[in-house]
Amino acid sequence: MNTQTYSAEDLEEAQTLVKTSSILATSLYVPLLDLHPKLRYIIETNLPKDWDYFVTIACIGTAFMEIADSFPKEDDQSSKAYAVQRALTDWSTDSYKEMVDFTEYVYSNKSELTKAIGKWVLKNFQADVEQAPEFSQISESLGRAILKSFHNWWDGKK
């Protein structure tokens, strides 16, 4: 992990982001399952904790991608980013690498943002997100819920 500096306040905000993301991940599954019963087939061979893990990463990654737009000063951007890196690494050792994978996937995906967010989660369950139309609907619902919750995460924290 990089040893760049961040403030105690930035670390606290990042830890809150991780906790809030984890709570949303846990609470999203049942409502999405009600809307999209085929979701059960995507993750039935995986433990529910895998769902929580990948959705949490997607939530944090969604907020992370907005740091540059939310903080004009480069020092503030760096401090927030390093604090998120630390909070993620404290939460789960490889989670920062997963978040980088998430952001790279979303930036390179040709789909609209909501679908790209959801597709990243589903691809981690080996779902054929490009071929099956029901996966497209699940991706969009999941991505919309994450984006609605974490878009503008940093507003009011400036």
> What is the per-residue pLDDT across 125-157, written as a single tens digit (0 to 9) for each?
765 656 667 778 888 999 999 999 999 999 877
Separation between Cα atoms, residue 98 and residue 144, nearest integer Å: 20
Q: What are phi and psi of 49, to 5 degrees?
A: -65, -25
What Cα–Cα distance (Å) separates residue 96 from each residue in 27, 33, 57? 22, 28, 8
Summarize pLDDT for 49-100 with one digit per residue, the tens. Answer: 788 999 999 999 999 999 999 999 999 999 999 999 999 999 999 999 999 9
Q: How confident is the model at residue 29 (pLDDT cuts 50, 70, 90)?
A: confident
Annotated domain spans of the chain: 8-150
Q: Which residue has the higher pLDDT, 124 or 92?
A: 92
| Residues whose CB is less than 8 angstroms from the CB of residue 60 and which lie 6 or more positions away in sequence, other chains included | 17, 18, 21, 84, 88, 95, 99, 150
pTM of this structure? 0.90
Separation between Cα atoms, residue 114 and residue 147, nearest integer Å: 7
